[in-house]
Amino acid sequence: MPSPTNTSTEICNLALSHIKIEQITSLSEQSEPARKCNLFYDRTRRAALRACDWNFAGVNQVLNLLGDQATAAANPDDISKQDVIPQWSFLYAVPAKCLRVRRIYNPQHAIIPDPYRDRTISEDIGDSRFGRPADFRVLRSPVTLVDAIAAQIDNAYAEFTYDIVDESVFPDDFVDGFSLLLAMKLAIPLSADKELKAQINKEAIAFWDEAKRKNGGEGIEKGPSISYYERSRGV
């Protein structure tokens, strides 16, 4: 659950405690720990958000169409209609504040029921809470030169990780992982202790492996995959 007491200073002090450095009172203070925290804080926050499908940072949004192959083919001399990528039917703009696109889908596409398990067959290729997931690729559009999502489905939606900056909405388990990543960045600049950094790295790897297994520590734990062969045998 979110903690209203979480602040950037609190998170930095958690990171500093991992490397046994004296705590700070503010990120604006003129101390070496505060300066180094300022240097790494935002970059590490974004990395921590991207590292896992955190539920609190997940957003679902309809995508803005940049171009499609049918329109481009019908208007071969109109450069404004040519914002398309070869072998992809549709090109969409990446949403604002998107740190990582998790999946692309059309909510009208049917989900195939799975009689052998309380889930859907389409989960074999991704999470299908909102419809069959689609293949996609994130790249730069050729005409408008913006970050874009190439896909094969029309009327596409995206589930993506939002660039949240308000620490008061960060769940405590996210803060734990964030502070470990920040401690990894600060260990050598502030302590020069390679053994300590190695220990923090080990703790961070264990934390993030578990967080990913639990879908960010907030969702339903993912069970083992069952093959079609096993289903057909009733395993």
| Domain match, 66 and 99 both | yes
Q: 99-130 burial, b for 16+ CB within 10 Å, e for fewer? A: bbbbbbbbeeeebeebeeeebbbbbeeebbeb
Which pTM was predicted? 0.78
In a domain, 41, yes or no: yes
Rg (CA), the chain: 22
Q: How confident is the model at residue 218 (pLDDT cuts 50, 70, 90)?
A: low
| Domain match, 176 and 131 both | no
Q: How confident is the model at residue 101 (pLDDT cuts 50, 70, 90)?
A: very high
| Domain match, 112 and 142 both | yes
In a domain, 37, yes or no: yes
pLDDT at 1: 54
| Domain match, 80 and 159 both | yes
- Integer Cα distance of 219 and 78 in angstroms: 47
Q: How many domains does the chain have?
A: 2
Domain around 176: 8-54+171-213
- Beta strands (DSSP E) in the chain are 58-62, 65-68, 90-93, 98-105, 133-134, 136-140, 147-151, 157-162
Segment 139-162 mean pLDDT: 95
120 vs 18: which has the higher pLDDT: 18
- pLDDT > 70 in the chain, percent: 79
In a domain, 1, yes or no: no
In a domain, 222, yes or no: no
Mean pLDDT of the chain: 82
pLDDT above 50 (res 90)? yes
pLDDT above 60 (res 127)? no
Least confident of 42-51, 52-61, 224-233: 224-233
pLDDT at 113: 45
- Integer Cα distance of 110 and 113 in angstroms: 9
In a domain, 146, yes or no: yes
pLDDT above 50 (res 201)? yes
- Structure-block tokens of residue 165: 């900056």
HSE (side-chain half, CA atoms, 13 Å) at 14: 19
- Integer Cα distance of 159 and 98 in angstroms: 10
| Domain match, 28 and 78 both | no
| Domain match, 49 and 35 both | yes
Residue 187 near residue 196 (C-beta atoms within 8 A): yes
- Integer Cα distance of 128 and 120 in angstroms: 7
| Domain match, 42 and 138 both | no
Q: Which of 129, 164, 199 is the last residue of a domain?
A: 164
